[in-house]
Every structure is written in structure tokens, then in C-alpha cells.
Amino acid sequence: MVLFSRRTRRWWLAAASAASLPCLYAQTLSVHRELGRLRVSSTAVQFLEGAPLARLHNGASVVFVIQLGLLANNKTTSLARSAARFEVSYDLWEEKFAVTRLATPRKTASHLTSYETEAWCLDNLTFSAAGIAPDSPFWVRLDVRPEEPNEVTPLGEDLGATLARLVDLFSRPPRAGDTRKRAEAGPFRLKDLR
């Protein structure tokens, strides 16, 4: 019989609970400062996979709701939020993706690889660096959720301005086969960013 110390038990419980979440906790996000704005990039968060990718390869388009949050060091206080809906399609002949940001004004890119499509989506979500103290630590959280084919968003709704809809979308409990992604990184400080 193996006896575990309290410390070991707590570590195993924490590891088991973290393993059950669809969340990436490694430093998978990078933050860059550019002309008073903060941009987030990632080389590890892939959302063009699984069931959404199968739908794309079957000729359907998929809408992804992507939200970036800037969090205070306690990770419970939101400093800023940027969100949008992105419609992705796949050209079966060229084996390339096209993506449209579903907001006003619309932006579109085509002939992209899966990596370029994911990076383009993140590049179209930015934060203002105004109001953040240079020495204050902050965290960045990325949430990506594909919309189900039967979900309908009212025409003309700008998701970035509809806080209630965002809270509803990301607070729903995951279902079996749910492909939502979450990644967090930090702490960062403005004075350390280039």
C-alpha cells in the first residue's frame, strides 16, 4: 500500500482536474506591442481540427467565435476584451482556406493554410494599451468556440459589442465532442513588451 503525503495528494488532484479541462496552460500565447495596441499570437493553439475541420472538408463553412481577454494578475478581473465571429470555408480543389471577419467593416483573406487562417483571426483582434500601467502584471486568455450549424445569430449583430451574448456562449457547459479551446498565458508587463 502506497501512502501519499497531503502535498502529493493535492498535486495529483490538481493535475487530474486540469487534465479534464479543454485548456492549454503552457505559454502558448505571445503578446506584442504595436502603435499603442496589443496583439496576441500563438503557434500552439489550433482550432481548425476535429469535427469543424471535417465539416469544412465536406464543403460546409464554419463560424468560430473567438474572444481574447486581458485579465488582471488575479485572473478574475477583466481589463479588456476583444471578440468577433469568423466564417471559415475550405476550397476542396486548391486545398486552401478562406476566412471572413463577420463585423463591420468586414475583412476577408483567402488562399491560406490552416496555420495562416488561425493566425489571421488572432491578428484581427487587438486591445488598446491605454490605461494599463507599465509595471502591472496581466494575463491573456483566448477562447475559441465553433458555432453549431443550427445556431443562429441575428443579422447585423456585432458580437464584439454584445457582452450578454459572449457570456452566454462561453459559459455554456461543454457537451460531448465539444471542440472549444482555451489558452492562457502570463504574467506579462507592458514595460517588457516590444
- Could you state, in chain order, the average pLDDT of each consecutive group of 10 residues for the chain (194 residues)? 42 38 56 88 86 93 93 85 93 94 91 95 88 88 86 51 49 54 88 84
Is 7 inside a domain boundary? no
Total Cβ atoms within 10 A of residue 56: 20
**What pTM did the predictor assign?**
0.72
Is 187 inside a domain boundary? yes
pLDDT of 6 reads 44
Is 8 inside a domain boundary? no
Is 6 inside a domain boundary? no
Is 93 inside a domain boundary? yes
pLDDT of 172 reads 52
Is 16 inside a domain boundary? no
pLDDT of 28 reads 79
Range of the domain at 83: 21-192
**Cα atoms found within 13 Å of the Cα of residue 93, Cβ hemisphere only:** 0
pLDDT of 18 reads 39
Is 113 inside a domain boundary? yes
pLDDT of 20 reads 39
Burial state string for 22-43 with b = 16 or more CB within 10 A and e = fewer than 16: eebeeeebebeeeeeebbbebe
Q: Please tell me the total count of domains within the chain.
A: 1
